[in-house]
Amino acid sequence: MKFNFLGRVFRGDKVIWGIFIALSIISLLEVFSATSTIAYRQQNHWAPILRHTTFLLIGFAAVMFLQRVRSRFFSILLLGIPVSAILLIVTMILGEDVNGAQRWLGIGAITIQPSEIAKISAIGFVAFFLSKMKPDNESWVFKTLIIGIVILCMLIAPENLSTACLLFGVCFLLMFIGQVKIKKLFMVAGFGILMAAMLYGSLTILPNDFSEKYLPGRLATWKSRIERHSGDDKATMNADGTIAYKITDDNFQVSHAKIAISNGGIIGLPGSGSERDFLPQAYSDFIFAIILEETGLLGGLVVLLLYIVLMFRCGTLALKCEKKFPRYLILGSALILTIQALANMAVAVNLIPVTGQPLPLISRGGTSTIITCAYFGIILSCSSQLNGSDHEDVDESVANVDFEPNENETE
């Protein structure tokens, strides 16, 4: 009886629930540890972790609600495309400047990040039109998808290029999975690579003085990030033959992330990490470095494994979906969570330039935390309908009612 009750409350795939709960627990522990740099400046030292816990609880409530929503109703995400586009434009003009980027929009006492709303809306947008694609309308669907995605990404890119690239990449993969003609995808990929190469080439050959004076602020920032990542590591040889490494303002974050990883070793320093006091974004962009310092390589592998299992499990669930719309919703949600996690980890270990991508569900955040929980809610909702488990608690008088949408409704 107890397990039956829990099954009715926590619907959907139990593996996905396990991953969600595990990541939430890790998030509470690591954010509590990593927010030491801001906790001591406040009268209430518990304020940072209480804020993060509040957003996690709001996100959990969103998961509990969304897991009970029929997947066809997620077509409402289409409305998020024009809404997020308007919010992105308003943010460019009136947004709050944080660390040199206008990514947040203040509405009274609430601050939101429109790019997060745009990301989840784009997943619903692509999933919906892919589910409607047929041989006789493929060209129209493809053009609609490309136009919508490009417009959103162009609105995101000026202040958050990494998020624009992430979103475009995920939507491209989703179209590939959705069996859009490979010729069309090759054309899009070729054009994208050409534009990226031209942008990279122009950034690398332009003098720094010209970049600082005439290029938009974020392009100049990306130019410096690329140069720092591809340049030397500031290591010099002392007279006695020892190697000296100089930490500067340019390599400050990356250097302390490396120190944190080195300190952690195999099993880590639980609760005794020191780099959380030096890394400016220890609780956000570089939280994986703190995880490696406090839990070691073993803890880092566990976190990595959770995201990998999430992707594989969602792939398995998608294969079981008879309807196209929930299938693409599951895959799109899993792809954006997993690829963003891998990008955050790659930055922490200095494999790619600093991008500013948080670690999904683990990093401290507001809008990003709630939207990440919404992805899990969508996955759980779609998974709960695979075998009709969403109707297991109805009585026999309505058990034979056809709940499936007709041909004119979302699949």
pLDDT for res 399: 37
Residue 197 sits at the vertex; the CA angle it makes with 193 and 198, to the nearest 5 degrees, is: 120
Phi-psi region of 241 (alpha: psi -120 to 50; beta: other; left: phi over 0): left
CA 350/CA 285 separation, integer angstroms: 12
Residue 348 sits at the vertex; the CA angle it makes with 342 and 351, to the nearest 5 degrees, is: 70
pLDDT for res 245: 66
- Token match 């790659």: residue? 346
How is residue 206 annotated by DSSP? Answer: S
What is the per-residue pLDDT across 201-217, written as a single tens digit (0 to 9) for each? 776 776 666 666 555 55
pLDDT for res 38: 72
* φ, ψ at 104 (rounded to 5°): -120, 145
pLDDT for res 3: 54
Q: How far is CA 407 from the centre of its chain?
A: 33
What is the per-residue pLDDT across 91-134, written as a single tens digit (0 to 9) for each? 888 877 766 667 778 776 678 889 999 999 999 999 999 999 98
Nearest to 157 by CA among 103, 87, 232, 104: 103
pLDDT for res 403: 35
Report residue 261 as tokens.
């990883």
Task: Judge contact between 228 and 221, C-beta under 8 A.
Answer: no
CA 193/CA 166 separation, integer angstroms: 14
The structure's pTM equals 0.86
All residue ranges of the chain with pLDDT < 50 are 388-411
Nearest to 164 by CA among 218, 99, 94: 218
pLDDT for res 40: 66
How is residue 136 annotated by DSSP? Answer: T
Residue 39 sits at the vertex; the CA angle it makes with 62 and 275, to the nearest 5 degrees, is: 100
